[in-house]
Amino acid sequence: MSTPSDRATLRKQLRERRRGLPPQHRIAAAETLADRLLSLPFFSRESLPASGYVAGYWAMDGEIGLHAFQLRLPAPLVYCLPLLHDDGSLRFAPWRPGDPLVTNRFGIPEPDVTPDGALRAEDMAVLVMPLVGFDAACHRLGMGGGWYDRSLAFRHQRPAPPWLVGAAFAVQRVDALPREAWDVRLDAVCCEDATHIAEDIA
Ligand SMILES: Nc1nc2c(c(=O)[nH]1)N(C=O)[C@@H](CNc1ccc(C(=O)N[C@@H](CCC(=O)O)C(=O)O)cc1)CN2
Ligand SMILES: Nc1ncnc2c1ncn2[C@@H]1O[C@H](COP(=O)(O)OP(=O)(O)OP(=O)(O)O)[C@@H](O)[C@H]1O
């Protein structure tokens, strides 16, 4: 258990740290991140369907970029961006550079499609998600809206797929995150200097 203020204080500190990284570090880190993500066992031939949807995100607030990853994703895999549904869950839609975008309530660009007709988290083969903080056991601290936790709650009952992967800078790592019952643990976290795989699937 944790008090709300633990999480709020940690969020503030880690978001400042994330925004404070210099541009040259961000560019190099995003390249290395792409290599690490694509080397995960979840992207091997045995773990993935011949084709499949892969959720990414549109980086904001100093988050590590996924451009290099999107560009290098093998052709049968379809890159998707999240969109906010009024029911409080995230939906996903394929997006390629040039496709129309709209801005959501947080100022984040999302594909210009109706959320009702979009894909669900359950339809993804792999979800790569942004995070504010993580620990080596693959626990995730997000922006605090609960969007990913609500959308991924089915993973409390069911194993992968979808495989859940956090993307972060190394400075976002903490020793141990305060935890809540609804937190969905990730299968892996990749950052520029390490790949962390959850103990039970390593
Ligand atoms: N790039 C990216 N996309 C994402 C997320 C994310 O963390 N990063 N999300 C992950 O869940 C979802 C959106 N959730 C969000 C939750 C809070 C805030 C946020 O900026 N809150 C502001 C103030 C709120 C406001 O402007 O109304 C803040 O805390 O400063 C943004 C996104 C879906 N898309
Ligand atoms: N499965 C769920 N069902 C209902 N409410 C949930 C669920 N998961 C999380 N929430 C709600 O979402 C709120 C925010 O959760 P939390 O602080 O863990 O967000 P977060 O994981 O940091 O954010 P995000 O996933 O948007 O990046 C909590 O107050 C919680 O009540």
Q: Give domain status of residue 1, yes or no.
A: no
Q: Give domain status of residue 202, yes or no.
A: no
- pLDDT tens digits, one per residue of 9-68: 999 999 999 999 999 999 999 999 999 999 999 888 777 666 699 999 999 999 999 999
Q: Give domain status of residue 36, yes or no.
A: yes
**pLDDT of amino acid 50:** 63
- Closest approach atom of ligand 2 to CA 180: 18
Query: Sign of torsion, CA 149 152 156 159?
Result: negative
Across the chain, mean pLDDT equals: 94
Q: Give domain status of residue 2, yes or no.
A: no
Q: Give domain status of residue 59, yes or no.
A: yes
Main-chain dihedrals φ then ψ at residue 4, nearest 5 degrees: -55, -35
Which of 3, 10, 149 gets mutated to test ligand 2 (max ligand atoms within 8 A of its CB)? 149
Residue 140 · residue 129 · CB < 8 Å? yes
pLDDT at 1 over 80: no
Residue 188 · residue 128 · CB < 8 Å? no
Q: Give domain status of residue 18, yes or no.
A: yes
pLDDT at 137 over 90: yes
Binding residues: 7-11, 63, 140-148
Of 198, 105, 89, nearest in space to 149 by CA: 89
- Total number of domains constituting the chain: 1
Q: Give domain status of residue 167, yes or no.
A: yes
Distance, CA 145 to ligand 1 centroid (Å)? 7
Residue 153 Cβ inside 6 Å of ligand 2? The answer reads yes
Q: Which ligand is nearest to the CA of 155?
A: 2
Which of 61, 70, 90, 106 gets mutated to test ligand 1 (max ligand atoms within 8 A of its CB)? 106
Query: What CATH number corresponds to the domain at position 50?
Result: 3.40.50.10420
Residue in this structure with the two tokens 């990414």, named with its chain if needed = 56
**pLDDT of amino acid 202:** 66
Closest residue by CA, ligand 2 atom 11: 146
- Domain assignment of residue 91, given as a range: 7-132+142-197
